[in-house]
Amino acid sequence: MKNALLLLPGLLACAVAQANDALTLPDTIVTASRIEQPREAALAANTVFDRDDIERLQARSVPELLRRVPGVQLNSNGGVLSYFVRGGNTAQTLVLVDGQRIASATTGGARLDYLNIDNIERVEVVRGPRSAVYGADAIGGVIQIFTRQGQAGMQPTIRLGVGSNNTFDRSVDISGGNEKSRFILGATLNETEGFDLTEDNLGNDRDNDGQRTKSYFARFDHTFNEDWSAGLSVNDQSGKSEFDDAYEFNPANPENQFRVRGYAGYLQGQLSSNWRSRLELGSSEDRNKTVGSRFNDGQITTERHSASWLNYIDLSADQQLNVGADWQRDKLDATNGYTKDRRENIGLFAQHSWTGERISTELGVRHDDNQHFGEHDTWNAALSIPSGDSQQWIVSYATAFRAPTFNDLYAPPGWGGNPDLDPERSRTFELQWRADLLDSQWEASLYRTDVKDLIVWDSSTFQMNNVDEARINGLELAVNTDLMGWASRTSVSFIDPRDRQTGKTLQLRAKRTLTSDLDRQFGDFGVGATWALFSERFANAANSSTLAGYGTLDLRANWQATASTRLDLKVSNVLDRDYHLGTYQRATGPWPAPSIDYNYKEQGRAALLSVTWTPQL
């Protein structure tokens, strides 16, 4: 695989577009500066998927999209999702849905695999720190999901899917409206029997681990006049996800009963000829109840209420100022007692951008005041220099921080809570290159991130402490082009994430990754393929064991049978490769018997056939 990665630059260099229908990329982005702007004007490295991408790639979850983003890696340790953006931990990446934070205030992670893909219009990923505009947790980057909006007229959609592992997908929605008011209403029910996540075939762990998710969504947008508009949305997912707790003597079949819910509303308008303003209100809930586990039965619910006031001011034809304020309150309700169950945060930020004849600049600063860990300041600066008519160089520096979670600060005795923790802090240097060459779009990013005061379990004090430091060096490459009529999107990443104290590589991070999508439409019929390669990873912090590298090939096809009926077929892991993303230990007998290391299994070959009906009314 290493040789295959080394061949990539040569393969990309030979890519010459020869087709008339080029792959068109989304031309705007919101997440980079919290205001809609052209992608070429956003100085942060970014990747965007719109609804056309979701349908073309036949993605059935947000993680399926994210695995294609350079610098992003996913891990499913026994069915528990984690994600690493530029080598950062899961809690070091900010996740938003329609501008609202959805990560659990206890674990710091967002269950992206629970989100309903049928209600997603767009996914934006900003790679690199953005704490200067968002505050806490945006060290590795920001993932923002935008829900679907209604369309004028009246359009129902029904989708049915059936696949391997007794998988059944069902969704229905209807959108409609006129020039001023638009709405969408929908519901889904997705079920799968799953597969056995563990490989030891002992006890109740030999059963399949399935998942059942039901969701409903609604959104209403209204335009009062050419200057003012408002909207409301609700997005609710609930269900159960089975797992193995890798304990031979547990007679139960453990499962997580979950609910991820969010409400969002906005009012935006033109206050003057050069001043746009937007007010956002939101509420989210993350609830998880563990049933049947020997170690962790109980329920934890976190609620978050938030408000933001965003202002975009045109100072002149080439200068803009983005100013805003954020308020957030987190509340915890848990079966096990935490020492504190709520906290508030207030943040103020300002970001100035200037576009000159030869260079462009961006300078942002933010101040956060948290009820428990105190005040924190972050800033970022970027300079863009064009090279000819088709190339651009961007150099940037940014600081960021991660706020300690409720688990870090207030977990019950024996669980590691430490109320004296400081936030994790980072600084990042980055050099980007962007170009339109050979009828293709090219991007490259070279970066270094230093993280201090990492929050980890300290065995000497039996609690969480700020004891570690990390250094992450990385290189990302991406190209989008047409190859003799085939739309191609390829990305490759090289990363070296290390613990500064021990010199060890951070666990579960592959140093080399490659993903490539290839699609072509032949009239009403289309075909596509995705090839992915990942190098080996260390399974533990001591770097004493490894998980082998692997590669997968996915194939897909679609047929627009009639004007209102579309058939999709996707076969994942066509070559049925065995690969592993996590490990666990199983005791050979009652304590203090020794343990044996095993690997969690991942999905083998699987197929999904679906039909989408959109009758014309």
467 in the Ramachandran plot: left (φ > 0), alpha (ψ -120 to 50) or beta? alpha
CB atoms within 10 A of CB 292: 16
- Report the C-alpha gap between 497 and 508 in whole angstroms: 10
| Inter-residue contact 288 to 297 (CB < 8 Å) | no
Q: What would you measure as the largest C-alpha separation in the chain, in angstroms?
A: 74
Secondary structure (3-state) at 427 = strand
Question: What does the pLDDT look like over 91-145, one tens digit per residue?
Answer: 999 999 999 999 998 889 998 999 999 999 999 999 999 999 999 999 999 999 9
Question: What does the pLDDT look like over 152-185, one tens digit per residue?
Answer: 889 999 999 999 999 999 999 999 999 899 999 9
Burial class (CB in 10 A: 0-12, 13-18, 19+), 502: exposed
| Inter-residue contact 513 to 67 (CB < 8 Å) | no
Instruction: Return the CATH fold of 2-613.
Output: Maltoporin; Chain A (2.40.170)
Question: What does the pLDDT look like over 436-487, one tens digit per residue?
Answer: 988 899 999 999 999 999 888 877 777 888 888 999 999 999 999 988 889 9
Looking up tokens 């001591």, which residue turns up? 542
b or e along 191-226 (b: 16 or more beta carbons within 10 Å of the residue's beta carbon)? Answer: bbbbbebbbbeebbbebebbbbbebbbbbbbeeeee
Beta bridge partners of 606: 572
Please tell me the predicted confidence (pLDDT) of residue 443.
Answer: 96
Query: What's the predicted TM-score (pTM) here?
Result: 0.92
Q: What angle do CA 151, 153, 158 make, to 5 degrees?
A: 70
Instruction: Report phi then psi at 189, rounded to 5.
Output: -145, 110
Number of alpha helices (DSSP H) and beta strands (DSSP E) in the chain: 5, 35
| Inter-residue contact 586 to 568 (CB < 8 Å) | no
- How far is Cα of residue 403 from the mean position of the Cα atoms in its chain? 18
Domain extents in the chain: 2-613
What are the C-alpha distances in Å from 570 to residues 116, 361, 526? 18, 44, 12
Between 153-157, 241-245, 419-423, the lowest mean confidence (pLDDT) is in 241-245
Task: Flag whether pLDDT at 502 surpasses 50.
Answer: yes
Please tell me the predicted confidence (pLDDT) of residue 26.
Answer: 60
